Amino acid sequence: MFVLTHHPRPSLTLSDTTFHFVDDTPAVVLEQAKLAARGQDVRLGGGVSTIRQFLDADLVDTLHIAVSPLALGTGLRLWDSPEELNDRYHHDTVPSPSGITHHLYWRR
């Protein structure tokens, strides 16, 4: 697990997971994660600022977001409109059978 941070610290192992705290660009962190994954998928998780950095650097192949109507207050937005990514990605919306949660996918 690679953690993009402005406060690097020594790696930490909990159970069978090692957390590496890296203060670098998204491209460098992604390259380190790819090497550690040895050909397997690399997944990105984080808050709005982290996801935006990777999207803005054009480092995301597939984006999956689950949307459920729940008001949590104010905060940062991932975008003003999901159509902002349509110039680089194919966009699909898959509603859940209950109609409450929607899964949004962007794929290259």
Where exactly are the structural domains of the chain? 1-59, 61-108
Q: Return the bridge partners of 72, or none.
A: none
Q: Which residues contact 44 (CB under 8 A, 6 or more apart)?
A: 30, 50, 51, 54, 60
Share of the chain above pLDDT 70, in %: 100
- pLDDT, one tens digit per residue, over 44-84 is 988 889 999 999 999 999 998 887 777 777 788 888 888 88
pTM of the model: 0.82
> In the predicted model, is pLDDT for residue 10 greater than 90?
yes
Asked whether 58 and 88 are in contact (CB, 8 A), the reply is yes
Predicted pLDDT of residue 3: 92
- For 100, which DSSP code? S
Q: Mean pLDDT in the chain? A: 89
Going by C-alpha positions, the residue among 6, 31, 28, 89 that lies closest to residue 55 is 89
